[in-house]
Structure 1
Amino acid sequence: MNSAAPPPPGRPSAVTRGIQILERRGIAPESQILTGLVALGLIIIVGVELAPDRTPFTSLMVPLLLGNILLSPRRLPMFVAFIVVLVFLALARQTEPTARIYAAVAIEVLMALIVLVASTRRSRLGVGGAAGESMFVDLRDRISRQTGLDDLPAGWYAESAIESAGGSAFSGDFFVATRPEPWRLEVALVDVSGKGEEAGVRALQLAGSFGGLLGALPPEQFLPAANAYLRRQDWAEGFATAIHLSVDLSSGAYEVRTAGHPPAALRLAGSGKWRTLPTDGPVLGLIDEATFTCASGTLHRADALLLYTDGMVETPRRDIELGIDRLLGEAEQIMRREVSGSTQRLVDALGSRSDDRALVLLTRR
């Protein structure tokens, strides 16, 4: 699988190193930003005083919005108050205020209030808008890069594809993979209740937790442990479906278990046809002491295993069995042409656009 390699453990990013250098020199980056925004506001006021026809005081909206993006919730309220003071100073300089000017002032004050409300909502995080968003995205990217599908032994190939409902960057479908030993690969594909961004936070939390469980437990204990973990969460929609694959990369022996999830599909090179593997188990997070059946076998040369979520095979007007048949038929056509990139082509061609979709393909060459 071709994907970006994760940064070396413990090595900060270029942005982090730059900030650390500035802090060691006694320069606070946010203080510089605040100073620049204050200077910009004063320049605009000077422009309004000297050339009112060329510098509308509504230009104060620019530093206000920049402050909303760049400043932390601790400093933003003071800066917003400063901008409001400048707005009223600019109004006082108007020789003949019109209704249009008063309306512009009202809009400026309203925007300042909106920025303050947004700052209050972000105060729980304690960082500015851009920083908070970058932290969230960095967390998602770091978890998604820890897939364990890179650098598989010679003779093995794996790839994955995920698309969220509505094209959001965050999905309720995710997968984690790890190699607790060089010869063993563990993969879990999970579908969290909900869709798109509403399930994104829960998916991120479960991705980190399930990733730890996946590498620390024997294969037969992973789904029971994941079920127990979800049962302990106080979530209004605290359930998920999952499929777990464990493969011995030296012999090709595999075990598959499902928890309320569509069955894995196996392609045997000898027949060239796909079939589903019979597994059963309850949805994670609903009942205690759940048990999960296992389907096992051995992957030989050119055999393949396909894991997928229900968004690939289920639509409101189509039975899931028909969706599985269509997926496997399309998979056979695509894989006959080229295996590389087949998961993304399948995700693009099939499934419900109103649901999250995910695929993981493992084949022995």
Structure 2
Amino acid sequence: MRLPPTHPLAAGAPAFFGDWAELRETYPDAIRSDGMSAWAFLPLTAGGRTAGMCILAYDRPHRFTADERASLTALGGLIAQAFERARLYDIKHQFAQSLQSSLLPRTLPGIPGLEVVARYLPATPGMDIGGDFYDLIRLEETVAAAVIGDVQGHDVTAAALMGQVRTAIHAHATAGANPGEVLAHTNRLLTELAPDRFTSCLYISIDLARGMACVASAGHPPALLRRPGEPARMVASAPGLLLGVDPHTEYVTAQVALPPGSVLALYTDGLIEIPGHDIGEAIGDLAAGFAPSPRRPLTDLAESMIGPVAAVEHRADDIAVLLLRTTQP
């Protein structure tokens, strides 16, 4: 916006007026409506941008000394720098959130015999961005892979690396690698791409025709499983090293029966981590409260799982949840 030449901001420099007469000399059209008698106009300029103006008004005439003018000018500069830092932080945060959201799947493939619901909950505004991700990959007519993970760090780099991890996992999975091999191949790639960043990941291949699942984990919290007529339990799997630690790491797989009506819950640590609480106990509490029923939609189950965390005013980590229920294909 172009300012009129008579506007204080147009001068682009601090201005000090010790009384009303002095102000009228510079701005003859000025209107006195606040009852003040002396003013300091401090343009808030930083990085070549003027964000506004700070006006200090006095209720009686005031003589601005040279030291006072210098101090007030410095104060205006500090305020402008604070505004500029806040603006740049907001831009960076919004960019990171947009980047992360764009890298998550917009839709999940429809697979006969498998009901799927995913939820992603970002950290609250003002907190750092995370690197949580999830995916569902169709491998064959009755075979699919469920993936969930968390890239270390809370910045744009973490969000970008998350996209690379998802792409690598997808490529190796569709090439026919088993769960352990998918993690091993992705691990070797990560040690080359980002040797200072680690990623937890849980990969589960689901064979609907056989009613079996094959699980491999890279340091990720265990999935929960509720089979018909049984209480919920944690899916046992050998906890391999995080991706990106050792390029020679091998990942052991485990088999688990998955009859029709079984419900799997994959989640990231933001759902269970509470400062000062044992994570093992938190996972146990989550399993104890995991009670899906055949008549309850997975959407309702997902909302009930993230609802208590979503109500927290300040969340320092994002959350991803992926729920799967096997049905008759």
Contact preservation (8 Å) 1:178, 1:214: no
Partner of 2:231: 273
Q: Distance in 2 between matches of 1:180 and 1:244?
A: 13
Contact preservation (8 Å) 2:42, 2:73: no
Partner of 2:324: 362
CA gap 1:356/1:142 in 2 versus in 1, 3 angstroms: closer
Q: Distance in 2 between matches of 1:360 and 1:130?
A: 29
> Which ranges in structure 1 are unaligned for 5 or more consecutive residues?
1-35, 69-75, 88-94, 123-128
Alpha-carbon distance, 1:306 to partner: 1.4
Contact preservation (8 Å) 1:44, 1:59: no
Contact preservation (8 Å) 1:327, 1:350: no
Alignment of 1:172-211 (within 5 A): 172-179=131-138, 184-193=143-152, 198-211=153-166
Partner of 2:222: 263
SS at match of 1:347: helix
SS at match of 2:232: strand
> Which ranges in structure 2 are unaligned for 5 or more consecutive residues?
11-23, 55-60
Contact preservation (8 Å) 1:277, 1:295: no
TM-score using structure 1 length: 0.63
Counterpart amino acid of residue 136 in structure 1: A
Q: Distance in 2 between matches of 1:343 and 1:140?
A: 21
Alpha-carbon distance, 1:247 to partner: 2.7
Structure with the larger helix share: 1
Q: For 2:192, which of 222, 227, 232 is the aligned residue?
A: 232
Q: Distance in 2 between matches of 1:355 and 1:113?
A: 28
Q: Distance in 1 between matches of 2:171 and 2:137?
A: 10
CA gap 1:106/1:319 in 2 versus in 1, 3 angstroms: closer
Q: Distance in 1 between matches of 2:99 and 2:6?
A: 38
CA gap 1:215/1:332 in 2 versus in 1, 3 angstroms: same
CA gap 1:186/1:54 in 2 versus in 1, 3 angstroms: farther
Q: For 2:114, which of 156, 173, 177 is the aligned residue?
A: 156
Q: For 1:108, which of 66, 76, 79 is the aligned residue?
A: 76
Alpha-carbon distance, 1:358 to partner: 3.5
Partner of 1:246: 205
Partner of 1:98: 64
Contact preservation (8 Å) 2:226, 2:292: no
CA gap 1:114/1:348 in 2 versus in 1, 3 angstroms: closer
Percent identity over the alignment?
Answer: 22
CA gap 1:205/1:252 in 2 versus in 1, 3 angstroms: farther
Q: Distance in 2 between matches of 1:40 and 1:135?
A: 35
CA gap 1:234/1:207 in 2 versus in 1, 3 angstroms: closer
After superposition, what is the alpha-carbon deviation per residue over 1:168-188, rounded to whole angstroms, capped at 9, x for unaligned? 472243323443666543332
Alpha-carbon distance, 1:161 to partner: 3.2
Q: Distance in 2 between matches of 1:253 and 1:333?
A: 20
SS at match of 1:340: helix
Matched, 1:51 2:30: yes
SS at match of 1:331: coil
Matched, 1:217 2:172: yes
Q: Distance in 1 between matches of 2:121 and 2:146?
A: 18
After superposition, what is the alpha-carbon deviation per residue over 1:129-149, rounded to whole angstroms, capped at 9, x for unaligned? 7765554332122112x1552
TM-score using structure 2 length: 0.68
CA gap 1:132/1:355 in 2 versus in 1, 3 angstroms: closer
Q: Distance in 2 between matches of 1:321 and 1:58?
A: 59
CA gap 1:166/1:137 in 2 versus in 1, 3 angstroms: closer
Contact preservation (8 Å) 1:44, 1:57: no
CA gap 1:294/1:210 in 2 versus in 1, 3 angstroms: same
SS at match of 1:136: helix
Alpha-carbon distance, 1:41 to partner: 7.6
Contact preservation (8 Å) 1:164, 1:173: no
The structure whose Rg is larger is: 2
Matched, 1:309 2:268: yes
Counterpart amino acid of residue 364 in structure 1: T
Counterpart amino acid of residue 323 in structure 2: L
Counterpart amino acid of residue 262 in structure 1: P
Partner of 1:39: 3
List 4+ stretches of structure 1 deviating above 6 A: 333-336, 350-354
Counterpart amino acid of residue 215 in structure 1: H
Q: Distance in 1 between matches of 2:264 and 2:192?
A: 32
Partner of 1:92: none
CA gap 1:58/1:362 in 2 versus in 1, 3 angstroms: farther
Structure with the larger strand share: 2
Alpha-carbon distance, 1:259 to partner: 1.1
Contact preservation (8 Å) 1:148, 1:178: no
After superposition, what is the alpha-carbon deviation per residue over 1:322-354, rounded to whole angstroms, capped at 9, x for unaligned? 333321121116887553232232234479966
Alpha-carbon distance, 1:310 to partner: 3.9
Partner of 2:102: 142
Superposition RMSD in Å: 4.3
Q: Distance in 2 between matches of 1:39 and 1:305?
A: 62
After superposition, what is the alpha-carbon deviation per residue over 1:180-231, rounded to whole angstroms, capped at 9, x for unaligned? 66654333211333xxxx5243431232112211221134232112211222
